[in-house]
Each structure stands twice: as C-alpha cells, then as structure tokens.
Chains A and B, each alone.
Chain A
Amino acid sequence: MEACLLRQDNFKEQLLEFIEDREKPFDVEFLMKHCLQPVSDIKIHDVLCELAEEGKIIRLDDRYYLSTRVLMKRWLKQKIRNLEGNVIFDEIELPQRLIRQVAKLIKEKPELGYIDIADFVRDAIRRYLLHSQR
C-alpha cells in the first residue's frame, strides 16, 4: 500500500483506492508524498473534502482523515466480538494513574479508533500476548 503512487488522471478514484483500506489516518502531506506527479495540496484537500461529503472518508480533526470502510470494519469487529456467543467477562483491577494515561490517549488520538478504556486494554493484552509468543 505504501508503495502505491498517485497519478494526475483519475486522481479521485486513485486516491480513494489508495486510502480505502489504509488502517492509519492520513493527511494532505502524506498523500502529497505518495503522488507520482506533482499535485498541489489544494487539489488533494479539495478531493478529500469531496470524499468526505460522499461519506467515503471521515474527517477526524483539522488535519487527519480516515477511510470510512476502515472505521466501519473496526466498529463491526468490535460489535461482533461483543455479540459472539455468550462472552463471559471478568474484571481486573488496574491502577488509576495508568488508566488516566489510557484515557488521555483515547481523547487525544481518536484516529486510533479505540471506543473506550476496556477496548484499549483488550488490544494491549492481545498485542502483548502475540509479542510474548514471538
């Protein structure tokens, strides 16, 4: 995905194809770096606005955007996970000071897509388990 470069012709379609499955948020600067031919930041910005109006991408803040498809996939994954046959939950006590750092991250980086503290903690555990098994 990173190696894919954009061309001037069919710019909007190519841009959408480029970012549609991109897991990380992107901004105009990032897209400019991946253009095969020079494209102005204004043109990229205009196309992003069009895509946002069409609901194909979501504007996260003044700078970053994220593909609607990626966001929906995350949301669905979470919903499915919650609905998966009779999930039994257990509680774990965690220090508030550490939890406050998690809350801060979720607030400051909505583009990461964490819906709440438990969502972050579950992701952290899964990643750490994977990391430990390597």
Chain B
Amino acid sequence: MPKTIAKTEAEYTPVKIPKSLLDEVDKAVGKFGYRSRTEFVKDAIRNLLREYGMYKPEEE
C-alpha cells in the first residue's frame, strides 16, 4: 500500500495558485459539471496548450 501512495505522489506536481483564483474555480466547478477543481484546471491547461498548438493527448 505505501508503494502505491509513493507512486501516486510521484506522478503529481504541486503548483501554487492564488487562493482567490482557486475560489473562482471552485464556484465554476459545480456550475460546469466538473468533479473537482483539479479536473477544471486540467481542462484549462489542455485548452491553452491546444490554443498554442502544443497539446498532445497521447503524452498525457
């Protein structure tokens, strides 16, 4: 079990975001049917990467 936790932690990176911005995200999460703020932020990142022509779903 500890091994699983260690692996999961290694696959994620913490990123610092102003709390005020995350509060706005929290409001949008329910409104737009996201399961969590992480899912919302992931979609936001994918969207901007796509805009710059740099999103590769196969590398996710």
Residues of A within 8 A of B (CB): 87-102, 104-105, 108-109, 112, 117-118, 120-129, 131-132
Chain A's nearest CB lies how many Å from the CB of B44? 3
Inter-subunit contact A121/B17 (CB<8 Å): yes
Inter-subunit contact A122/B52 (CB<8 Å): no
* Number of B residues with CB within 8 Å of any CB on chain A: 36
Inter-subunit contact A109/B52 (CB<8 Å): yes
Inter-subunit contact A125/B32 (CB<8 Å): no
Chain B's nearest CB lies how many Å from the CB of A130? 10
Inter-subunit contact A121/B46 (CB<8 Å): no
Chain B's nearest CB lies how many Å from the CB of A127? 6
